[in-house]
Every structure is written in structure tokens, then in C-alpha cells.
């Protein structure tokens, strides 16, 4: 997930930068025949960036909800103590959620301010200030989320190792061995 998140963050940040660039170009461009097209590009990119911000940070929410629940259930099933694994996944979720939430809220606020500026109900500099804040807050959130997602992936691997150790102690196959055995039985039934 850490690699996937990195790609999503790079893509999202690129869209945010393109949106800011198109908006800046529109703001400083003197009257020209291309001014309307640049505005439409900025509008489209801004809408895309807003949706992408919500998508990427919601994926992080869902990831931590799912993996946190999985670690908790596995710990209960194999009688693994709360420390260090389930407790640490809860701590990582608590670290990642505020960053993701602030990123989503600032993205929504920036889009709303953009609509206000378009209708000339709000001054343009509110939208521009929020756009700069969107860049900064998303950079901060990407950093926090990448660190927490990476550490959480390590915890999942550690839990799997602990489960294999417990299964070996009880004379059972490891997860990989059980999976291979199940696949072999499945292939035998298909023939």
C-alpha cells in the first residue's frame, strides 16, 4: 500500500500544482482570446483536484479502518497481546486521520472559495490563499500518511510472522503452507 499511496500522492500533487498554475496564469493573463479557455481548464482541473483529494485521503481512512480491524481480529483469534501490534495500529490511525481530514476540508474550502470568486461574491485572494494552504497542507498530510501507512504495513508483516510462530508451536502449517495446500486441493477438484 505504501507504494500505491506514493503514486497516488504524486499524481494528486501534480494535479494540484497544475490547477494552481492554470489559476495563476488566468489571473495574470491580460485580456486575450485564450483567457476563457484557461479559465475552463482551471475550473476542470480544480474540480478534478477536489475530487482526487477526497478520493486519496478517503482511501487512507479506509485502509486504516480495514487493517486496524484485521490486526485486532487476528490478535484476538491468536491471543496476541494488545501491545505492541493492535495498540500501535490504533495510534497510527490517530496520527493519519487528522492530516487526511484537514487535507479534505481545505480542498473543499478552496473549491468553495473558487466558486465564490467566480461569481464575484468573494475576493479572489481568499481563493488564492486557500489554494496555497491546500498545497502546503497536502504536502504535510502526504508525509504523515506515507510514514504511517509504511509503518502499518510493517506491523501487518510482523503480525503474520507472529501468527506463523504460534501456528508452528501448535503443530499447524504456516499460512503460506496452508495456502499452498488449499490451492493443491482446489486444483485436484478442478481436474
| Nearest one of 146, 103, 143, 139 to 5, comparing CA atoms | 146
Chain centroid to Cα 138, Å, comes to 11
Which residue would you say has higher pLDDT here, 146 or 26?
A: 146
| pLDDT above 60 for 191 | no
Measure the CA–CA gap between 9 and 139, rounded to whole angstroms.
9
The 10s digit of each residue's pLDDT in 135-148 is 999 999 999 999 99
Measure the CA–CA gap between 54 and 139, rounded to whole angstroms.
15
What was the pLDDT predicted at 190?
57
User: What's the whole-number average pLDDT of the chain?
Assistant: 91
The 10s digit of each residue's pLDDT in 57-66 is 999 999 999 9
> What are the backbone angles phi and psi of residue 83, rounded to the nearest 5°?
-95, 135
| Nearest one of 78, 74, 145, 135 to 106, comparing CA atoms | 135
Q: What are the distances in angstroms from CA 41 to CA 11, 20, 119?
A: 17, 11, 17
Calculate what percentage of the chain has a pLDDT beyond 70. 98
The whole-number average pLDDT for the span 96-107 is: 96
Domains in the chain: boundaries: 2-190
For the CA atoms of 140, 142, 147, 148, the dihedral, rounded to the nearest 10 degrees, stands at 100
The whole-number average pLDDT for the span 151-168 is: 92
Whole-structure pTM value: 0.84
The whole-number average pLDDT for the span 116-130 is: 92
Residues 6+ apart with CB under 8 A from 101: 57
The 10s digit of each residue's pLDDT in 29-61 is 878 788 889 999 999 999 999 999 999 999 999
Helices (H), the chain: 2-28, 35-77, 85-118, 124-169, 175-190
What was the pLDDT predicted at 127?
95
Q: Which residue has the cell 483567457?
A: 35
What was the pLDDT predicted at 13?
94
Amino acid at each position: 500500500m505504501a507504494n500505491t499511496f506514493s503514486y497516488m500522492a504524486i499524481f494528486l500533487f501534480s494535479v494540484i500544482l497544475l490547477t494552481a498554475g492554470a489559476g495563476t496564469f488566468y489571473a495574470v493573463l491580460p485580456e486575450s482570446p485564450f483567457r476563457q479557455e484557461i479559465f475552463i481548464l482551471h475550473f476542470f482541473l480544480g474540480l478534478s483536484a477536489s475530487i482526487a483529494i477526497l478520493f486519496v485521503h478517503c482511501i487512507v481512512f479506509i485502509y486504516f479502518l480495514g487493517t486496524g480491524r484485521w490486526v485486532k481480529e487476528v490478535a484476538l483469534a491468536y491471543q496476541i497481546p494488545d501491545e505492541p501490534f493492535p495498540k500501535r495500529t490504533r495510534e497510527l490511525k490517530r496520527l493519519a486521520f487528522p492530516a487526511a481530514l484537514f487535507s479534505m476540508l481545505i480542498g473543499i474550502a478552496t473549491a468553495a472559495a473558487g466558486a465564490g470568486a467566480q461569481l464575484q461574491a468573494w475576493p479572489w485572494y481568499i481563493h488564492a490563499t486557500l489554494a496555497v494552504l491546500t498545497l502546503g497542507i497536502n504536502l504535510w498530510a502526504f508525509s504523515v500518511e506515507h510514514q504511517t501507512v509504511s509503518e502499518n504495513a510493517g506491523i501487518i508483516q510482523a503480525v503474520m510472522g507472529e501468527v506463523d510462530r504460534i501456528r508452528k508451536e501448535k503443530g499447524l502449517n504456516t499460512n503460506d503452507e496452508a495456502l499452498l495446500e488449499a490451492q493443491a486441493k482446489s486444483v485436484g477438484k478442478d481436474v
